[in-house]
Copies of this chain bind each other. A is one copy, B any other.
Amino acid sequence: MKNKNISSISEFGLIDIIKKQFATAKNNKNIIVGIGDDSFCFKSGKNNICITKDMLIEDVHFKKDWITPQNLGEKAIEVNVSDIAAMGNVKPEYALIGLGLPPKTSEIFVKNLSNGFKKACDKYRITVVGGDTAKSDKITISVTVVGLCKEKVIKRNGANEGDIIGVTNTFGDAGAGVTLLYKYGAKHKYNKDEYFLISKQNNPKARLREARKISKYLTSLTDASDGLYISVDLLTKDSDKGADIYMDTIPISSSLKKVFKEDKKQLNFALFGAEDYELVFTTPKSKSKLLKKLVPEISYIGRINSSKKVEYFYNGKKQKIKYAGFQHF
């Protein structure tokens, strides 16, 4: 057997190796959502229980100098709540926090990190119920959030032909923010717009309230943790459909427009910049106005079709878009 190393396999390829291994084990009648969605969900009595698990590793997901320990703690919770929000109307209830810390870590750092966990957990009324600590070379935070859902969970695979594709807020900000940090570091004096982009990277907010308001009208749903391009790809592939995306309608913040003036750059961040944690969903066209009334920060960016291809249009012209995103491996 040819023995590749995993840097030649993508992160998604790696998940595929593991998914394949466990594909046969999926026929458990209580499992509502198995491997490969934003959260795992199973039935327990009248409840659906959703569980998510996301790791943040120093120098992979963050640099210690770029983010305050409190923001880091908040973010570790928010990104998990975002995965919970991506299942629809789910109430996050409990968190387990696994912490790997280098022995030289200061007690103040741990306290501030813990303050961040607490701030985000208090906001969502999540109870921290356990965890695990260990020594490690790099700061490693592995959070598990448990949510309860009394309604149907919204998977990635329910998009229908003719549905329109909606998103919340703006895209590309977090990716632009991390680009600024890479270029100028944390100590640079940033202006207000640059600071907005950086805070979208360092202090993201899960769209739980928004998901709760609109979930019953949605046919599919995910959160954009790896860029809009990947989110659209996941929704269409899992639904066995295609889509037309109108790039002119992708919402871009005024800050992103001011800091990176080129259209092409803005769209590049929007499609391939990770960590926006905005909702990406499909809904019947008939519901589009209602949803925008419920959540004014919604924009519509495209339409589902039966082609099994995702095509991108800009000013009415078809564009060749190649995946150019960030993957861990």
Contact = CB atoms under 8 A, between A and B. Distances in A.
Nearest to A134: B328
Chain B CB within 10 Å — which of A15, A44, A49 has the most?
A: A44
A186 interface: no
A105 B17 contact: no
The main secondary structure of chain A at its interface with chain B is mixed
A3 interface: yes
Contact of A55 (B36, B37, B100, B108): B100
B140 A100 contact: yes
Given A57-B100, A128-B25, A328 B142 contact: no
Interface in A20-53: 21-22, 25-26, 28, 30-31, 34-37, 39-40, 42, 44-47, 49, 51-53
Contacts of A7: 103-104
A136 interface: yes
Contacts of A324: none
Given A18-B114, A107-B17, A142-B142, A130 B51 contact: yes
Contacts of A300: none
Contact of A140 (B37, B114, B140): B140
Contacts of A22: 117-118, 121, 127-128
Interface in A124-139: 127-138
B103 A329 contact: yes
Interface of A: 1, 3-7, 9, 11, 14-15, 17-18, 21-22, 25-26, 28, 30-31, 34-37, 39-40, 42, 44-47, 49, 51-55, 57, 59-61, 93-94, 96-101, 103-108, 110-111, 114-115, 117-118, 121-122, 127-138, 140, 142, 144, 146, 148, 328-329
Given A51-B146, A98-B142, A140-B140, 17 more contacts: A3-B108, A4-B106, A6-B101, A14-B101, A18-B117, A18-B133, A25-B118, A25-B121, A40-B94, A40-B129, A51-B94, A51-B144, A53-B142, A57-B100, A137-B138, A142-B142, A144-B144
